[in-house]
Amino acid sequence: MVQSGSADPLNYLYLGQALQGKGEYEKARAAFEEYNRLVPADPRGQVFANACNLPGRWDSLPEAFEIKNLASLNSKWSDFSPLNYKDGIIFTSDRKENLLESPVYGWTNHDYHDLYFAKKDNPDDPFSSTQKPNPFSKNINRTYHDASPAFSPDYAVMYFTRSYNDKAAEKDQIKTHLLKIFSAGNNGKGWTNEKPFSLNSDSYSVAHPSLTADGKTIFFSSDMPGGFGAFDIWYCTWQTDKWSDPVNAGSEVNTFGNEAFPFALNDSTLYFASNGLPGYGGMDVFVASKKNGQWQIPQNLKRPVNSSYDDFSFVSNQENSQGYFSSNRPGGLGSDDIYAFNRLPVIPEIKPVVEAKPVIIPVPEPLTVSGYVKDKNSMTPVEGATVYMLNNKTGMVKVLITNNDGFFKSSIDPDASYVIKATKLNYLSDCLPFLQVEAEKVRSQVIPRDLLLDKLEVNRVIKLENIYYDLDKSFIRPDAAIELNKVVKTMKETTISIELGSHTDSRGSDAYNEALSQRRADAAVKYIIQHGVSKDRITAKGYGERKLVNKCANGVNCTPEEHQANRRTEIRITSVSSKMPDNAVAIPGFKEGDEVDRKQLPADFFDNCR
pLDDT one-digit tens code per residue, 233-254: 999 999 988 999 999 999 899 9
Residue 585 has pLDDT above 60, yes or no: no
- Write a three-state SS string for 89-149: EEEEECCCCCCCCCCEECCCCEECCEEEEEEECCCCCCCCCECCCEECCCCCCCCCCEEEE
For the segment 49-64, the average pLDDT, to the nearest whole number, is: 87
Q: What is the mean pLDDT of residues 205-212?
A: 94
Give pLDDT, residue 59.
82
Q: Return d(Cα 520, Cα 533) in angstroms, integer.
A: 18
Superfamily of segment(s) 68-343: TolB, C-terminal domain (2.120.10.30)
SS3 category, 485: helix
Residues 6+ apart with CB under 8 A from 6: none
Average pLDDT of span 180-185: 92
Region of residue 261 (phi > 0: left; psi between -120 and 50: alpha; otherwise: beta):
left
pLDDT for the residue numbered 324: 96
Q: pLDDT band at 314, cuts 50/70/90?
A: very high
Q: How far apart are CA 508 and CA 526, in angstroms?
A: 25
pLDDT digits (tens, 9 = 90+) for 343-374: 988 655 555 555 555 555 665 667 888 999 99
For 461-576, CATH number? Answer: 3.30.1330.60
In angstroms, rounded to a whole number, what is the distance separating the alpha carbons of residues 423 and 405?
16
- Is the pLDDT at 98 greater than 80, yes or no? no
Q: How many whole angstroms separate alpha carbon 370 and alpha carbon 408? A: 6
Contact 312, 283 (CB under 8 A): yes
Strand 88-93 and strand 104-105: the pairing is unpaired
Mean pLDDT score of the chain: 85
The pLDDT of residue 354 is 52
- Is pLDDT at 498 greater than 60 in this prediction? yes
Whether 297 contacts 306, CB under 8 Å:
no
pLDDT bucket at 45, cuts 50 / 70 / 90: confident
Mean pLDDT within 61-84: 91
Q: Which residue has the higher pLDDT, 350 or 479?
A: 479
CATH of 368-454+587-600, one of 3.20.20.70, 2.60.40.1120, 2.60.40.650, 2.40.40.20: 2.60.40.1120
Pinpoint the residues of the chain covered by CATH 2.60.40.1120: 368-454+587-600
In the predicted structure, residue 293 carries a pLDDT above the cut 90: no
Q: How do beta strands 451-455 and 368-375 pair? A: parallel
Confidence of residue 228 (pLDDT cuts 50, 70, 90): confident
**For residue 332, what pLDDT is reported?**
86
- Tell me the per-residue pLDDT of 514-534, one tens digit each, with 9 for 90 and over: 998 999 899 999 999 998 899
What would the DSSP string read from start to end of 332-390? SSSSSEEEEEEEPPPPPP-PPP-SSPPPP-PPPPPPEEEEEEEETTT--B-TT-EEEEE
Q: How confident is the model at residue 441 (pLDDT cuts 50, 70, 90)?
A: low
Question: What pLDDT sits at residue 19?
Answer: 92
What is residue 103's predicted lDDT score, i.e. its pLDDT?
Answer: 61
Which residue from 328, 320, 333, 317 is spatially nearest to 83, judged by alpha carbons?
317
Averaged over 104-126, what is the pLDDT? 79
Considering 38-42, 338-342, 546-550, 605-609, the range whose residues carry the highest mean pLDDT is: 338-342
376, pLDDT greater than 60: yes
pLDDT per residue as tens digits for the range 506-518:
888 889 989 989 9
Angle CA 305–285–306, to nearest 5: 30
Question: How many CB atoms lie under 10 A from the CB of residue 310?
Answer: 21
| pLDDT score at 100 | 43
Strand-pair partners of 212: none
Average pLDDT over residues 563-577: 88
Task: Please compute the mean of the pLDDT values over residues 194-215 and round it to a whole number.
Answer: 91
- Region 551-565 average pLDDT: 88
pLDDT range class, residue 335, cuts 50, 70, 90: confident
- Would you state the pLDDT for residue 150? 93
| Residues composing the chain | 610
In the chain, CATH 3.30.1330.60 covers 461-576
Residue closest to 335 by CA, chosen among 146, 111, 494, 178 = 111
Please check whether residue 228 is in contact with residue 256, taking contact to mean a CB–CB distance below 8 angstroms.
Answer: yes
CA distance 341 to 428: 56
Higher pLDDT, residue 99 or 110: 110
The residue ranking higher by pLDDT, 347 or 324, is 324
What's the rounded mean pLDDT across residues 261-274? 93
**Range(s) for CATH 2.120.10.30 in the chain?**
68-343
Using DSSP's 3-state secondary structure scheme, residue 289 falls into strand
Q: How confident is the model at residue 572 (pLDDT cuts 50, 70, 90)?
A: very high
DSSP string, 301-327: --TTT--SS-EEEEEE-TTSSEEEEEE
What percent of the chain stands above pLDDT 70? 88
Q: Rounded to whole angstroms, what are the CA distances from 41 to 37, 38, 281?
A: 9, 9, 22
Contact status, residue 162 vs residue 141, Cβ threshold 8 Å: no
